[in-house]
Chain A
Amino acid sequence: MEAFFWGVGIFLLLNAFVCLWRAHVGPTVMDRILAVNIVGTTTLVVLVVLALVFGRSMLLDVALVYGLLNFVITITAGRFLETGRLSGERP
């Protein structure tokens, strides 16, 4: 099973690299944010895979915080680009 999990992890990392290509070429800023968000989701799953392979449940906490941060950062970046500001009021 460990070999299988290594395979899944490496496969997901390759996927993440292809997504990085999209983040590189764009063409719009939103494309880049979306691509980076997907890289983040992939990383989250890879972290859980690593937690099981290495038997370190601490990595699960890292994955949880990573997922929350990924969500907040993507929303904030999208909102900032849309309104040009971060506070709650509409411009």
Chain B
Amino acid sequence: MISAVDIRNAVTVVLAAVGALFFLIGTIGLVRLPDFYARTHAATKCDTVGAGSLLLALAVFNGVDVSTLKIIALAGLVLLSSPTIGHALARAAHRTGVAPWQARKGRTS
């Protein structure tokens, strides 16, 4: 007999595992990718999805509650702030003259 609690726990485990996996990918990207801009790609996208998925998992686990509203507000905060931070840092790097890494040297564009 599968109860509602079992389903809720299963959903939580799957979402949280996906989120943790994306965090791991973001970390690997942060370590492996060749330059700042490429690392910003990994950091903004993977961590947005990872944090969103994990927070969603925790919200599902918590059920209908005031705390769940807070967790959803946190997810919204991460979803809004992550691309903004990526853009702000990329712009700052661009304007302070951090040159993008290129696989083939001496190419225009």
A and B in contact, CB less than 8 Å: yes
A interface residue numbers (CB < 8 A to B): 1, 4, 8, 11-12, 15, 18-19, 21-22, 28, 30-31, 33-35, 37-38, 41-42, 44-45, 48-49, 51-52, 57, 60-61, 63-64, 67-68, 70-71, 74-75, 78-79, 81-82
Residues of B in contact with A, size category: 35 or more
Q: Main SS of chain B's interface residues? A: helix
Shortest C-beta distance, A29 to chain B (Å), equals: 8
Determine how close the nearest CB of chain A comes to the CB of B22; give it in whole angstroms.
10
- Contact present for A15 and B67 (CB under 8 Å): no
Contact surface of B with A, Cβ cutoff 8 Å: 9, 12-13, 16, 19-20, 23-24, 26-27, 30-31, 36, 39-40, 43, 47, 51, 54-55, 58, 61-62, 66-67, 70-71, 73-74, 77-78, 81-82, 84-85, 88-89, 91-93, 95-96, 98
B47 near A57 with CB under 8 A, answer no
